[in-house]
Structure 1
Amino acid sequence: MRPESLPTLDPDGDYLHRVRNASVYPVAKSLGMTLRFPPVQPRSRKALEAAEYARGEGRFDEMHEALFRAFFEDGKDIGDTEVLLKVGASVGLDREGIRAAIEEGRYVEKVLADEELAHRLGVGSVPTMFVGSVGEPLEKAEAIVGAQPYGGRIEAAVEWALSRR
């Protein structure tokens, strides 16, 4: 998540085109996905707040997947409250509940704490995943940066984590 004080990346800039062509599009193709990025690079804090609302309603996984699809496949601006309300409603969440949570800033502290943890762990880009053993702190997990297929480094990290159980 890009801190609010930093400008968003230019969706038509060389950097995003280079990254997407080198890693994002090949992985998506291998998964049978067609990606359609929105014409804006959204701020994601509201989407993260909406996801926390969904967690409280027992629908985090559904919301997480719906947000992913809305951004990566449908090209929606997941920084827009109206988009978030539609995405939430699509997984059975109450639109006004989401709106109130965002407007009241109900989950801002949680999202900021997660952002701080990511910063402490050295997360500088997305996607970044951590593979480790249940119950161990994230600091002991292996960080895997960038969109990549399951084989290779990800598979090795999963095998390593499973061997430590």
Structure 2
Amino acid sequence: MTVFRCARCGARLSEDLTALAAVPAKPAHRHVGGEARRAPSTVPRGHYAVDPDPWGAPYLPLGGREGARPAGRQGLLVGGGSLTSAGPRNTVLVHPEDVMGLEPLPGGENGGGCCGPTGTEGPNRACSCGVRLATLSADCLGPYELHLDPVRVYAVGGAGPPPADVA
């Protein structure tokens, strides 16, 4: 079992989670109606996966970049498929309901979306100590998932010591 903590203050961020061997295939995304107004979570409750691919903001023109994939393959509606993610690699992908103590950024910063944050504008959740360390994607037009920044969080029980310094 693994617990994720804030690299700055050590606050516990997650429930006990079990690692998945790979990121699960994203559920089919389309406008989701009903009370929840969101797609099923990419990761089941009680689990996490490390996403080796770049994820989230910033985005760059797809152009002829070798190995680049359209951002839309992430389930995010970005640039009509003409952009690719240049965001961090190895984000920790978790079910949003397995994480506690994170707050939206003041004034809804980076939280744009129809029914919830799209996750396309960069980190939109912070630890109580103020570190911006997660990006929630919970809009009706995209995936329902939370990405923890691999530099601003660390794992206890599974993946080694915390990073030396976090600004």
TM-score past 0.5 threshold: no
Rg (Cα) greater in structure: 1
TM-score using structure 2 length: 0.22
TM-score using structure 1 length: 0.22
Structure with the larger helix share: 1
Higher RCO (CA 8 Å, separation ≥ 6 residues): 2
